Amino acid sequence: MRTIICTLFCSLFVCISGCGYGQATPNYDMIDLIDVSGKVTFDGQPLAGAVVSFIDEANSRMSYGITNADGKYQLRFDRQKNGVTPGSKIVKVSTSTVIEGVNDSDVVIDEETGEPKAKELIPPQYNVQSELRALVEEGKDEFNFTLMSSAQ
pLDDT level of residue 113 (50, 70, 90 thresholds): low
Do residues 144 and 40 lie in contact, with contact meaning Cβ atoms separated by under 8 Å?
yes
Parse the chain into domains and list their residue ranges.
30-97+107-147
CATH topology of domain 30-97+107-147: Immunoglobulin-like (2.60.40)
Is pTM beyond 0.75? Reply is no
Q: Residue 110: its pLDDT value, please?
A: 59
3-state helix, strand, coil in the chain (%, to 5): 15, 30, 50
